[in-house]
Structure 1
Amino acid sequence: MTAKKKAAASTSPSKAFSAEERAAMKERAKELKAAASKAESEKDLIAKIGEMPPADRAIAKKLHAIVTDVAPDLFPKTWYGMPAYANDDGKILCFLQAASKFGSRYATFGFNDVAQLDDGEMWPTAFALKSLDAAEEKKIRALLKKALG
């Protein structure tokens, strides 16, 4: 490849990301620019939940109540436009990816590596959620307690 072609290739927009992924990256860039207080971040998170379709909104509202009850010291914020909860170091411990975010058939509640849910050489870090009833709430509470260790 000639130098001219390499330069043109490096400046052309990437076709590797979908429109939804590019939108999520733009949301993340916006979040990084905003140095918001915990109250402002929670306000943004609540606003994002309010924008969700009804099924996702119901899950997100319940999940927010669970996380703030079990882990009141976590910092509620948005992460790539999704509800997330960070530790004192600002690292995301857990997050909710709404089903509508990428057109999935279920929402995903996930944990990042700071949660240290390690169990042997392989363990789950993300969980599909079609609804959030008492049985799922009990599991989520237990996972959060383990993640907070």
Structure 2
Amino acid sequence: MPAKDAQTQTEGFSAEERAAMKKRAAELRAEGKKGAKKADGLKAVLDAIAGMAPEDRALAERVHVTVTATAPELTPKTWYGMPAYANADGKVVVFFQDSGKFKYRYSTLGFQEDAHLDDGDIWPVSYALTEWTPVVAKKVTELVKAAISG
């Protein structure tokens, strides 16, 4: 897929973004045992994303950037081999499942029990993702903000 503007980029992480994430992982390792665990989680997420098909990888990278920018208090980790982001108690709040994992026609952005998305007696906890657009970026940001509120 051809690259779009920075907001809707689908070619994946730029060299600068990759370098910044590697630097951040090194910083976390330097913080000691707790930082090393966070760095290992970040590396595992980045490795899981790197192993995806190009279309899934582009979506996962945008989700990763959005979640980590919107909710820096969530810790990246893998969950059943998928990129996920956990709260301070280590419980997964949000995860990304690539379409190739179970041969679905769409990737999934999902939320676990600790996400604060409750809305009456019924509410969605997973969303199909097929393309990253400004509308999708805005919705994902809103969902992540809601998930960590409260």
Question: Larger radius of gyration, structure 1 or 2?
Answer: 1
Question: Take 1:89 and 1:58, find their aligned partners in 2: how far apart are those partners?
Answer: 29
Q: Name the SS of the counterpart of 1:85 in structure 2.
A: strand
1:71 matched to 2:71? The reply is: yes
Aligned equivalents of 1:146 and 1:107: distance in 2? Answer: 21
Corresponding residue number in structure 1 for 2:138: 138
C-alpha distance in 1, partners of 2:77/2:127? 20
CA RMSD for the aligned pairs?
Answer: 1.2
Task: Give aligned-pair identity as a percent.
Answer: 48
Query: How far did residue 94 of structure 1 move?
Result: 0.3
Quote how far apart the aligned CAs of 1:116 are: 2.0
**What stretches of structure 1 of length at least 5 have no aligned partner?**
1-34
Residues of 1 paired with 2:135 and 2:40: CA distance?
A: 32
TM-score (norm 2): 0.75
Name the CA distance, whole Å, in 2 between partners of 1:125 and 1:59.
Answer: 18
Q: Which has the higher helix share?
A: 1
Tell me, what secondary structure is at the counterpart of 1:84?
strand
Q: Tell me how many residue pairs correspond in the alignment.
A: 115
- Superposed counterparts of 1:1-149, under 5 Å: 37-149=37-149
Alignment partners' CA distance in 2, 1:40 and 1:72: 16
Find the aligned partners of 1:47 and 1:116 in 2 and give their Cα distance: 28
* Runs of 4+ residues over 6 Å off in structure 1: none
Q: TM-score, normalised by structure 1?
A: 0.75
